[in-house]
Amino acid sequence: MTAEPTVIVPARAPAPASTTPAKSGTPPHLTNWPLIHNMPDFLTPLLTDTFYLYYRNLNRTLGPIMTHFIFDRVENYVSDPTEMKRILTSKEFRRNDFFLKVTPDVFGYALFAMETGPVWQKHRKAIVSGMGPQFVRKAYGVTVDLVQDLTRMFDAHIVNSEDGSFVMNIREYLSLLTLDVLTRVAFSHDMNCLQGFDDLKSGKDSVDKRSVQLRTYVDEIGRIGIYRTFVPKFLWGFFKISETDVVPITTYFDAMINEFLAPRRQKAEEGEEEESESDLLTPLLKKTEDGEMLFSDKEIRDECMALMFAGHDTTSNTITNVFLQLCQHPDALKTLHQEIDANYPPDSTEFPRLDELSKFEYLDYVFKETQRTKNILMGLDRVVASENMEMLGYKFKKNDYFSANLQTVFLDPQYWGPDAEEFKPERWINKEVVDGTFMPFGAGQHMCPGMKMAIMEAKVVLIQLLRTFDFELIPGQKLELVDGIVCHLPNGLELKVTKRREE
């Protein structure tokens, strides 16, 4: 945890705009020093990768709106649910591309960070068109197959062990499993990362050793992207986030993407691309009525990169956090085991159908409670789209920067009770959620298009693995999340795995 920063609060606390005329002054903030602004307070959280805690503490200390000054950026962080939802859904705000402007060598064109406008609309339409019900059905079948492969891998490790157990980093396995799901479903390409990784862990030779580097490179991309948004370019070399530092990572991913993209692009250019392929490359490789490619090579490459990153990293880290919470809360795990056994009996050989996953209600509670207590997104950013805007008693102008501070509201006792920071899945039973207090997938026109697939993947993985194995935390690990494009455990999660015992 970072130390509480010294804060400066205006003499007049902000009042609701409905009762007080909007002020032109600045909302509550830290001491804004000349030239260095808030860097004295911000430096330690930045260097320790915990600025998500820093911003959470600021909103708790300063109130539902506060301003932060960092070099040439003035940021406004909001933790009022009504105004947060307004930021994400109202036409008064739009998303800008400040993140893509500092990461053109990594993402460039990426739907998850693209500025609201015509180019975003074109990309969004293409991606959403490929992620309909048939996409989720296809992903379900692939996920079931891969999690059963993972079950066989774990069984083999246990059988070959001396004491009927083995220790592994589950985030590594989940990362590769979800990446294999994504590439098979989105790109119709089997990268076989999971099997290759397990072969190497088992001491076997593997043709493809790239999977070992994947987790490290994904985390490094997250670190570079976040640091670049806060650190001036003249300091990029000092923080090892320069264009030169990124080259090995982009080379690695470009080679991976080119494996499936090059042959499909050639087919599309020659008019041999078939609609029956029905994956996310299909709409990206379409041609206009004039016979030109609808998207440039750079756009297609960057969307593939973004899909590989956002489409698996968010899911794998969330599932990892579920395992962490369950290992730390045995009563919740026992209740979940009972539900799994009731809906998927130990003697059953048929995995529950896609439409049967809704029967696992307590699993829903566990998943939501993990998203709430260990959310992987600090916040969601927008800028003011209108010429003038008022919020919580203050006036703002066009292009002023705002962040809906999700984590602060997700853990606010005002909405979740005095035990808000505790993991209690039962709180979701008949829970009436205050509008704007729980938006883990965002809201409005930029809401995550892969939400249904992510929830389905998590349920399938958890049902199968928890039904089959017992998991125990290895002591001495760092279990506090750190910053990245998504917040994550710094070294993954090491667990001792054994065959499940009868309770």
Could you tell me if 287 and 311 lie in one domain? yes
DSSP string of 478-494, one letter each residue: --S-B-SSS-B-BTB-E
Strand ranges across the sheet with 165-169 = 165-169, 494-499, 469-473
271 and 125 in one domain? yes
The CATH number linked to 470 is: 1.10.630.10
> Into how many domains does the chain fold?
2
Q: What is the pLDDT of residue 27?
A: 95
Q: Is the dihedral angle over the CA atoms 317, 281, 211, 247 positive or is it negative?
A: negative
Which CATH number fits the domain that encloses residue 73?
3.30.43.20
Which structural domain range is residue 16 located in? 1-100+378-428
List alpha helices for 130-205, DSSP H.
Answer: 133-159, 170-187, 193-201
Task: Report pLDDT for 86.
Answer: 98
Contact partners, residue 276, CB within 8 Å, separation at least 6: none
In a domain, 435, yes or no: no
Evaluate whether residue 434 is within a structural domain: no
Is 304 labelled a binding residue? no
Residue 304 sits in the same domain as residue 340: yes
Which of 428, 457, 492 lies at the terminal end of a domain, its last residue?
Answer: 428
User: Of 71, 65, 80, which Cα lies nearest the Cα of 22?
Assistant: 65
Residue 222 in any domain: the answer is yes
Domain check: are 421 and 274 in the same one? no
Q: What is the pTM of this model?
A: 0.92
How confident is the chain (503 residues) per 10-residue block, as mean pLDDT?
38 35 78 93 93 94 95 92 97 94 93 94 93 92 97 96 96 95 94 89 72 85 90 93 95 92 87 69 90 91 90 94 98 98 90 96 98 95 94 95 96 96 96 95 94 96 97 96 92 97 74
- Sequence-distant (≥ 6) Cβ neighbours of residue 358 within 8 angstroms: none
- Alpha-carbon distance of 409 to 416, in angstroms, equals 9
CB-CB neighbours of 218 under 10 Å: 23
- Is residue 127 domain-shared with residue 175, that is, in the same domain? yes
